[in-house]
Structure 1
Amino acid sequence: MQHGQPGKGVATYQGRPLPRPDEEVVDQGLGFDLGTMGRRRALRMLGLGATALGLAACSPETSASTSASASATSASASSGEIPEETAGPYPGDGSNGPDVLQQSGVVRSDIRTSFGDASGTAEGVTMTLELTITDLANGGKPFAGTAVYVWQCDREERYSLYSDGATDQNYLRGVQIADASGVVRFTSIFPACYRGRWPHVHFEVYPDQASIADAGNTIATSQVALPKDACDKVYATAGYESSVANLAQISLQSDNIFGDDAGASQLGTVTGDVTSGYTVRLAVGVDTRTAPAR
């Protein structure tokens, strides 16, 4: 298939052969990720000049990836900064195909439904995602006014705009502006667990609402990991059947994103239940003095 989907093996992505055809697009390694992101974003991600990037490209793929990830985790652990992570192949921010951030209506709190010309709704157990953004370059004060873009897969393991059966939808994507306490809240659904990845939600932080016009303006890119206890309970409900087997084959320790520290600083705290819905909270420290991932 030309475009890979969670839960399905692919041979190519955007016409490029996958170095690991039996793995997901998000698991193809550093070299493939750099080719997907493009030169400018790769330089920003690594914090390297052109010469250094060339040297990195000559290094073994797994070694470079592990070194970069370990360094980012170590720095984050000591500073309180949220670890920088890949946005993956389905960002919808214009860096890899579709750009939902250019559409009127993307600034919204309830992201369960599509907007604009799309009209679909993502079904599943209700989840409220609450992120508290702090400005580490300013003494850890609330980072009021920042724009936070979140996106995730649906109950059927699909990403809107990209996955078969959901390319005409833009649900489970939206932007909120941090209030005076640095807080943003989204009403969503609990995402599925697709093969090869621990259940998660992606997010990008921008300096302000005007900045979302260009994905290159991000000041942080990361992911929220969801606790296993809540996952087990949600996946026991109708519609999430495939997530049960997928979750059984992955752990926070083996996940290619959260595995460095088992998601220590990215694991959300959860309250609620499958009937009334869950609330997932995470503190997100952002340091504008460090190089962003994108």
Structure 2
Amino acid sequence: MERKEFLKRGFSALGFATIVPLISCSNSSVDPETTDTTTGSTSGSCTSTASETAGPFPTKSPASYVLTDITSDRPGTKLTVKITIQNKSNSCEGLSGALVDIWHCDAAGNYSEYGGSGMQSINYTNVHFLRGRQTTDSNGVVNFASIYPGWYSGRAPHIHVHVYDSSGKSLLVTQIAFPEDISKVVYAQGVYASHGQADTTNARDNVFGDGVSTEMATVTGSVSAGYELTHAIVVTA
């Protein structure tokens, strides 16, 4: 079944905002990650990070993947991910002991833990690349080693994030957006080149189209040396 027809018949009717099985990343023209999008709200000295859908490919057992290096065997431009979790209820101080899960697709636009169907033909159901969990330090910071995410049709490049408090209570599901000028440089070289440039800008993205003011990462570095992503996520804990 074509992905567009699948979405028309099933996704909206079921109303899944987070877990929808086996939907392609790399060969699709419509993305299901279109629900549960809100803009950030401002209170006091900081702005809450926008809540977004977890999409159809969340990590199935995130507690099993406590990893700093989530690269696994995936080729691509090196990316260091540094995320700070800030607590809006405590003057935006760093939130210690928070659980932070991240996941994203590989250079070709495919996710691990899914596939083996007409919607993602490559079967990655038994591998777990580009997924991991870390606990924030005393300053609310987690670090991951990864690769620069690829893209798939209908979505701008992004990383998914799910933040929990120390007891496992969900605080926020969100996504991180990338500067388009840097993505263009990355996608012109190496393993990304055969996939070409992203077909969707942040402004035309189903998730980021209402603005990326609380979701845009700061990315520095180069293709040769690798890039560093820094981003602050504001939650209420």
Both structures adopt the same fold (TM-score exceeding 0.5): yes
1:272 aligns with 2:221: yes
Superposed, 1:127-276 pairs within 5 Å as 127-163=79-115, 164-208=122-166, 211=168, 217-245=169-197, 247=198, 249-261=199-211, 263-276=212-225
Q: 2:61 matched to 1:100?
A: yes
| 1:74 shift after superposition | 5.2
Question: How far off its partner does 1:233 sit?
Answer: 1.1
1:110 maps onto 2:69 in alignment: yes
* 1:89 matched residue in structure 2: 56
User: Which residue of 1 is the match for residue 8 of structure 2?
Assistant: 19
Contact (CA 8 Å) 1:131, 1:184: kept in 2 or not? Answer: yes
Q: Is the alpha carbon distance of 1:230 and 1:37 closer, same or farther for their aligned partners in structure 2, counting shifts above 3 Å?
A: closer
Distance in 1 of aligned mates of 2:213 and 2:194: 26
Larger Rg: 1 or 2? Answer: 1
Identity %: 33
Q: 1:168 to 1:77 in 2, by over 3 A?
A: farther
Q: In the alignment, is the contact (CA less than 8 A) between 2:136 and 2:142 conserved in 1?
A: yes
Deviation of 1:158 (Å): 0.7
Per the TM alignment, residue 20 of structure 1 is displaced from its structure 2 partner at its CA by: 7.6
Deviations 1:119-149 (A, max 9, x none): xx11110001111111101111110110100
Conserved 8 A contact 2:17-2:53: no
Give TM-score scaled by structure 1 length.
0.67
Q: 1:284 aligned to 2:233? A: yes
- Rate the CA distance shift 1:265–1:239 in 2: closer, same or farther, 3 A: same
Aligned to 1:75: 41
| Aligned Cα root-mean-square deviation (Å) | 2.4
Cα deviations across residues 149-190 of structure 1 (Å, max 9, x unaligned)?
Answer: 000001121100013232221010000110111111100000
Gaps of 5+ in 2: 20-33, 116-121
Once superposed, which parts of structure 1, at least 4 consecutive aligned residues long, lie more than 6 Å away? none
Higher strand fraction (1 or 2): 2
Partner residue of 1:51? none
When residues 266 and 243 of structure 1 are mapped into structure 2, their CA distance, relative to the original with a 3 A threshold, is farther
TM-score, normalisation: structure 2: 0.83
Structure 2 CA distance for partners of 1:34 and 1:76, relative to 1, 3 Å = farther
**C-alpha distance in 2, partners of 1:231/1:108?**
25
